[in-house]
Homo-oligomer: A and B are copies of this chain.
Amino acid sequence: MLIGELAEAVGLTSQTIRFYERRGLLPAPHRAANGYRAYDDSSVFRVLFIRSAQSAGLTLAEIGSIVGLRDHGDLPCTHVATLLHDKLDGVRARQAELASLEAELERLLARSRHLDPADCADSDGCHILTEPRRSGRGG
């Protein structure tokens, strides 16, 4: 199986396959006499595993740590569970950030609807984004 065929089979480009190889996510494949990479069906599953892990929000580095355990002969399950747990924490933290950002944007948009653009003229930026300053607070 040539690299383009593997790429086609998994819906990626050849460049991405080589990129994963460089990153250590895919083992160096056998080479034909002409130097071409030669893959078998198991490579398809390896790439699909990478994509599954990515769709679970894992970074390539984290996925690399999973394959690394495999290469070392260890079972990665415990490590994977830890990664997923940490990732879930991170997702929830970012959800909280986005929720407060959403509230802030809604507040600013409500402001913008009852502010008169004519009052904006003297400001450095725009009065929608800067509080009518009483005592300083940024951020």
A residues with CB within 8 A of B: 10-11, 42, 45-46, 48-53, 55-57, 66-67, 70, 75-78, 80-81, 84-85, 87-88, 91-92, 94-95, 98-99, 101-102, 104-106, 108-109, 112, 115, 117-118, 120-121, 123-131, 138-139
- Complex contact B77–A108 (CB within 8 A): no
Cβ-defined contact, B49 with A81, below 8 A: no
Among B70, B91, B92, which residue has its beta carbon within 8 angstroms of that of A125?
Answer: B70
Decide: A66 near B101, CB < 8 A? Known: A84-B108, A112-B80.
Answer: no
Task: Give bound CA distance, A128 to B56, whole Å.
Answer: 11
* Chain A interface mostly: helix
What is the total number of copies of this protein in its complex?
Answer: 2
Q: When A and B form their complex, which 9 residue pairs have the shortest distance between CB atoms, in order from nearest?
A: A49-B125, A77-B117, A88-B105, A81-B112, A80-B126, A46-B124, A76-B126, A52-B129, A80-B128
Contact assessment for B130 and A48 in the assembled complex, using a CB-CB cutoff below 8 Å: yes
Contacts A46-B125, A56-B108 known; list 9 others, CB within 8 Å. A46-B124, A49-B124, A49-B129, A52-B130, A75-B118, A77-B112, A77-B126, A85-B109, A98-B98
